[in-house]
Homo-oligomer: A and B are copies of this chain.
């Protein structure tokens, strides 16, 4: 099912729509079909390749939890073939208050349009009362 997204932003919109809709096929169609792809969710091991990424998301979509994700763009780097978007995701899970996390999304252009190549999350800082200094 080629998606042929004309811009990196189209691919990004489709990615977050698929998560909110818990639509695994739509989600996988945003990813490039290659073993290069890599997904790193907070505090989970990095997953590489289509099969591993499908296996990562499948139970999350089958569960009871519903997610709403509000995206704020922090930083864009784009070339003809690669695009890197750093965003803040405000994730509301089943009506709970939103948890902010950072995410970097890397898109690559091919004959099939723009597709997701890498997704990396980082937790944002905890509230000051919980803050533990950390380096590197």
The interface of chain A, by Cβ under 8 A from chain B, is 19, 36, 38, 40-46, 48, 60, 65, 67, 69, 74-75, 77, 79, 81-82, 84, 86, 89, 91, 93, 101-102, 104, 106, 108, 117-118, 120-126, 131-132, 134-136
Contacts and interface: CB of A to CB of B under 8 A. Distances in A.
Nearest to A82: B82
A119 to B, nearest CB: 10
A40 B81 contact: no
Nearest to A81: B79
Nearest to A130: B43
For A45, A75, A117, the residue with the greatest tally of chain B CB atoms inside 10 Å of its CB is: A75
Contact of A122 (B40, B74, B136): B40
